[in-house]
């Protein structure tokens, strides 16, 4: 294994790769490669046993030229300042590629949620929300779920903010429970855009999605929903994994049954209807038509990319390929559909949720899914137009060419005030 890539440097490399095809001033580019501000906090929180613990936390506001900062909050022991900076930058270009009126932000707490009770997690979350209060708001910065956070955490943030502000402001966070102003279709949205991106890509590349074999690395919300929706359009999910390992059956697994097994037992391994158990690395190098990395950054580095045997990779996770892996897969003619398109369904339906919150007028699930499909297919077409017209080496560069130009235009048209 090569040395672990720094995700913030990966982001900067991706921006540079796209900028080479555009006419962007160096000083503007420099600005768009760094966050506008990063808040670093030490939260002191009471534990159930009466002790008090310190938790490091971050919120990076990367760029607000196209609208309020937008992006999730992650709870994970490996959260770091550079990871949060990278994730916030990816949000900028993700919102731009699907053309929704947001900038990008991201937050994280260095914590292993499995080690804490719900009461402790509530105190940690409310403490973070109290500190974030001056920076966030419906028109400023709008958090959302990310790894290990969901409706519960978003409701705590909303409630803390609203109580401290003596107001109602459901649009201060997205990804809330339906009862608190959440949107139909939000929970499934990331997996849905992954499926839509795979479907469009197979069509574009003249490949059949029906009967295509699929391996999914990571079986949380994004991976499991993508697997189920791909099954619905006729694909064969043959392998899935989580941090415990992978299960494989060349005749196909039942995506829903594996999800239920994981819900009941905590992991996918041990699922009795699978023919074989594999390591995560074996799953990533299976001979399948479609590989979906749906876990964390740097799942595939340059060395592993040499052994990837899938024809198409669709990134449900943020940053699962290192820049070296990208180079290897481009060289080997493996098509990679980038995270900033494939998992953009999450933030797109967050945008729909926010629109509904602002209007106090709520949509049906059918309307949400139809609008999401329109956004993703239009973004896909814009990306492939750029890929062809600029003769670009891969779809990631195409996505960044489209997105970077939109951010540069917004900054320049705003008048360039530093
Ligand atoms: N955390 C998700 C992402 O990485 C969703 C962000 C949002 O909805 O604002 O795209």
Q: Among the three residues 337, 358, 379, which one is the final residue of a domain in this structure?
A: 337
Check: CB of residue 383 under 8 Å from CB of residue 341.
Answer: yes
Q: CATH number, domain at 133?
A: 3.40.50.10860
Are 168 and 203 members of one domain? no
CA of 337 to the centre of ligand 1 (A): 17
Assess whether 106 carries a catalytic annotation: yes
Q: Residue 215: give the domain boundaries.
A: 189-337
Q: What is the pTM of this model?
A: 0.97
Q: Among the three residues 337, 352, 383, which one is the final residue of a domain in this structure?
A: 337
Are 85 and 145 members of one domain? yes
Could you tell me which residues are annotated as the binding site? 70, 94, 190, 221, 350
Furthest-apart CA pair in the chain: how many Å?
63
Question: In this structure, is the dihedral angle defined by the CA atoms of residues 285, 289, 295 and 297, taken in order, positive or negative?
Answer: positive
Could you tell me which residues are annotated as the binding site for substrate? 70, 94, 350
pLDDT in the model for residue 416 = 74
Backbone angles phi, psi at 299, to 5 degrees: -65, -30
Specify the number of domains making up the chain: 2
Q: Among the three residues 179, 199, 228, which one is the final residue of a domain in this structure?
A: 179
CA angle 288, 294, 296 (to 5 degrees): 125
Backbone angles phi, psi at 122, to 5 degrees: -65, -45
Which residues does ligand 1 sit against, CB inside 6 Å?
70-72, 94, 144-146, 174-175, 318, 343, 346-347, 350
For a ligand 1 pocket test, name from 187, 294, 350 the mutation site with the most ligand atoms within 8 angstroms of its C-beta.
Answer: 350
Q: How many CB atoms lie within 10 A of CB 384?
A: 16
What's the first-to-final CA gap in the chain, in angstroms?
42
CA of 87 to the centre of ligand 1 (A): 9
From the list 85, 106, 176, 262, the catalytic residue is 106
Strand segments (E) across 331-408 = 335-337
CA of 85 to the centre of ligand 1 (A): 14
In a domain, 146, yes or no: yes
CA angle 272, 274, 279 (to 5 degrees): 110
pLDDT in tens, 116-153: 999 999 999 999 999 999 999 999 999 999 999 999 99
pLDDT-flagged residues of the chain (< 50)? 1-2
Check: CB of residue 383 under 8 Å from CB of residue 402.
Answer: yes
pLDDT in the model for residue 415 = 84
């Amino acid at each position: 294994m090569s040395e672990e890539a720094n995700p913030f440097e990966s982001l900067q490399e991706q921006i540079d790769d796209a900028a080479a095809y555009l006419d962007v001033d160096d000083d503007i580019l420099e600005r768009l490669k760094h966050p506008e501000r990063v808040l670093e906090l030490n939260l002191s929180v009471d534990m159930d046993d009466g002790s008090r613990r310190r938790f490091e936390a971050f919120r990076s506001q990367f760029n607000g030229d196209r609208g309020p900062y937008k992006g999730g909050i992650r709870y994970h022991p490996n959260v770091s300042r550079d990871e949060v900076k990278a994730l916030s930058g990816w949000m900028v270009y993700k919102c731009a590629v699907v053309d929704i009126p947001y900038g990008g932000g991201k937050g994280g707490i260095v914590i292993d949620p499995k080690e804490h009770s719900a009461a402790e997690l509530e105190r940690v979350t409310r403490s973070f929300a109290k500190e974030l209060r001056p920076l966030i708001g419906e028109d400023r910065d709008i958090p959302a779920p990310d790894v290990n956070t969901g409706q519960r955490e978003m409701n705590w943030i909303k409630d803390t903010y609203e109580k401290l502000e003596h107001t109602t402001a459901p649009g201060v966070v997205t990804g809330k429970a339906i009862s608190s102003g959440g949107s139909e279709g939000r929970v499934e949205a990331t997996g849905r855009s992954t499926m839509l991106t795979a479907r469009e890509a197979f069509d574009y590349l003249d490949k059949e999605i029906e009967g295509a074999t699929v391996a999914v690395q990571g079986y949380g919300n994004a991976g499991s929903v993508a697997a189920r929706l791909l099954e619905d359009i006729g694909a064969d999910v043959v392998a899935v994994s989580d941090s415990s390992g992978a299960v494989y059956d060349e005749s196909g697994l039942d995506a829903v049954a594996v999800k239920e097994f994981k819900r009941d037992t905590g992991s996918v391994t041990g699922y009795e209807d699978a023919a074989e158990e594999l390591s995560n690395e074996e799953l990533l190098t299976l001979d399948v038509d479609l590989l979906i990395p749906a876990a964390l950054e740097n799942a595939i580095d340059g060395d592993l990319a040499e052994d990837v045997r899938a024809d198409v990779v669709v990134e449900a996770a943020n940053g699962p390929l290192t820049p070296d892996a990208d180079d290897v897969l481009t060289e080997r003619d493996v098509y990679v559909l980038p995270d900033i398109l494939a998992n953009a369904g999450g933030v797109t339906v967050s945008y729909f949720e926010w629109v509904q919150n602002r209007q106090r007028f709520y949509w049906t699930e059918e309307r949400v899914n139809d609008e999401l499909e329109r956004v993703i297919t239009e973004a896909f077409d814009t990306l492939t137009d750029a890929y062809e017209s600029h003769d670009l080496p891969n779809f990631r560069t195409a996505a960044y060419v489209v997105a970077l130009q939109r951010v540069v235009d917004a900054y320049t048209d705003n008048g360039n005030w530093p």
